[in-house]
Chains A and B, each alone.
Chain A
Amino acid sequence: MSSHREAPEISKDPVADSADLYAFVSPDRPDHVTIIANYVPLQGPDGGPNFYEFGDDVLYQIRVDNTGDGNADVTFNFSFRSELTIPSSFLYNDGPIESFNSPSWNRRQFYSVSMTSGGKTTKLGTNLACPPCNIGPLSTPDYPKLASEAVYSLGSGRKVFAGQRADGFYVDLGAIFDLGDLRPLANLHATFGLPKLAAAKGVNSTRYLNVHSIAIQVPITDLTKGGVHPKGALDPAATIGVWTTASRHKARVWDNANQSYTDSGPWVQISRLGNPLINEVVIPLGSKDRWNRSAPAGDSGFAANYENPELSNLLPILYPGAFPNLAAYNATKAPRADIVAILLTGIPTGVVSPGFQNYTGKVQADQLRLNVAIPPASKPSPLGVVGGDVAGFPNGRRVFDDVVTIELRALAGATLPLVDKSFKADGAVSAVTDGLDGSNEAYLSVFPYLGVPTSGYEVRVA
């Protein structure tokens, strides 16, 4: 959950809170791109009897820019509806749910998906069922098999899944938000005059927590400009920018007569997510709600936050003496062109390596940029491009990418030499991490890639 509860307003609206976004060339179908947008973050698996679901009153969208103007050229739209089959029961289910036809399954959710491209909206699927939440060995006895029923083929090579998954994101939230007290470096922290803490391994805050995922896998040609298959990684048509949004109707009135809400008016965006952790740690608190409601095309208005990231300025203060070169660079007030390139424009050809680029032009827009012509790595590194693996973040994002460490190191100066040859990254940069190793539930090797959610019965303490 790289963007969970990240802004004041959306933190009160979890069903519309975009938590993570992934976009990658599918390792088992390299002619197809998989995009996963997670919502409803930080689910305690035993949170019944009203287990988690998408918002029936929320419009979820996955958006793709293939022209570099910061606006969507292709949009996938998802709308949900819920129903009760046993309204007289308080239970989510009154017996084992062994298939989607089970009469024991009370609270169900269905959805429709469409694709808007070239000004035309095409219905791809309707009345598609979400799987139930993973309740426990009596209620959902063979969950992997049950959930696999919720992977639908939409024709033309497209697949879709919407429902509960194990969170794939790993982060030590407790340490990061306790004044950046990264446990592996705790002995170096300034501690504000308080007693020193001992260095320790990180604590995975999201282990055993679940999310609700909207996953779609489509041919590369669904996403590229003109529907072309790029000729190679340096083909300008090879890079797409991806983000997800959630919207609600503008007006809501409680209708006492019908004992329900009446929603009306145009959809207004209340949540968005492109690159991980941006609205979390780059955008300041006073601007976070506005960022969630705005479009990537207007992100030049937020550029100052990327050019002089607050966290980059804090690191030398929190860890005195560990980042002298970064402190000196910060003192010049020079904009961080590396951070702007990684997050707002993409990386031009030749900056990382002669055969790599994911540059979309001068328009500054926070999008997850993916060069679809770069094939999946045979030996992927969770550190992505920083780890020498150009098939990973910030070239798209795979489910296992360690985006916390990648971004912490980038902000600490690891990527600054790419644009300023006179800058030498501090020795401590390679030690910057929140100290986790991807110890979440096992990822799947096939769509939808995120792991089987932890069941309520088997809930464990991290």
Chain B
Amino acid sequence: MELYNRRQVLTGISAGLAVAGVAATMPAGSASAAAAALVKDNNAVKESSLKDSATAASFDGTAEPVVAYIRDASSGEISLFVGSREVTLHDSGIAAKLASAASKGA
């Protein structure tokens, strides 16, 4: 497992990658959280929301999909699955934004 900070994830690592899916689970009590999936084609949350919080240039690649998994948004830990790798990002801001978006998309 690789550990990266927010800047590395938004620039170096994600360059050349397309975010095809972001799966998020929420803390207990958030009824909609377990099934929340921010996938392009379900309109739960538009990709532009992610671009707002990151940078548009970060997600313009096409090589491999990325799946994000947030086990507990309050911890700020986000697991990114890409190819045969897992990248762990610690960013409570992004985690909270995704959790919030997931709740709205329910």
Contact = CB atoms under 8 A, between A and B. Distances in A.
A251 B37 contact: no
A264 B67 contact: yes
B84 A249 contact: yes
B20 A255 contact: yes
Contacts of A267: 84
Contacts of A256: 39, 41-42
A253 B66 CA distance: 10
Contacts of A249: 81, 84
Contacts of A126: none
B50 to A, nearest CB: 16
A255 B65 contact: yes
Contacts of A257: 40-41
A265 B82 CA distance: 5
B85 interface: yes
Contacts of A253: 20-21, 23, 37, 39, 65, 67
A460 interface: no
Interface of B: 1, 20-21, 23, 37, 39-42, 64-67, 69, 79, 81-86
Contacts of B67: 251, 253, 262, 264-265
Q: Which 9 A-B pairs have the closest CB atoms?
A: A265-B81, A251-B81, A264-B81, A251-B67, A253-B21, A262-B65, A265-B86, A266-B86, A256-B41
17 contacts: A251-B23, A253-B20, A253-B21, A253-B37, A255-B21, A255-B65, A256-B41, A256-B42, A257-B40, A257-B41, A262-B21, A262-B67, A264-B64, A264-B83, A265-B85, A266-B1, A266-B86
A260 to B, nearest CB: 11
Contacts of B69: 251
Given A251-B81, A253-B65, 14 more contacts: A249-B84, A250-B81, A251-B23, A255-B65, A257-B41, A262-B20, A262-B65, A262-B67, A264-B66, A265-B86, A266-B1, A266-B81, A266-B85, A266-B86
Nearest to B82: A264
User: Main SS of the interface on chain B?
Assistant: strand
A100 B73 CA distance: 53
Interface string A267-290: 100000000000000000000000
Most buried by A among B82, B84, B85: B84
A369 to B, nearest CB: 31
A253 B18 CA distance: 14
Interface residues of A, number: 12
Contacts of B82: 264-265
Nearest to A59: B84
B88 to A, nearest CB: 11
A105 B40 CA distance: 38
Contacts of B41: 256-257
Contacts of B37: 253
Nearest to A266: B86
A105 B79 CA distance: 42
Contacts of A255: 20-21, 65
B20 to A, nearest CB: 6
A251 B85 CA distance: 10
B84 to A, nearest CB: 6
A264 B65 CA distance: 8
Contacts of A265: 67, 79, 81-82, 84-86
Most buried by B among A249, A253, A255, A256: A253
A266 B79 CA distance: 11
A3 B86 CA distance: 30
B81 to A, nearest CB: 3
A255 to B, nearest CB: 7
A249 B83 CA distance: 9
Contacts of B1: 266
A267 B85 CA distance: 8
Contacts of B65: 253, 255, 262, 264
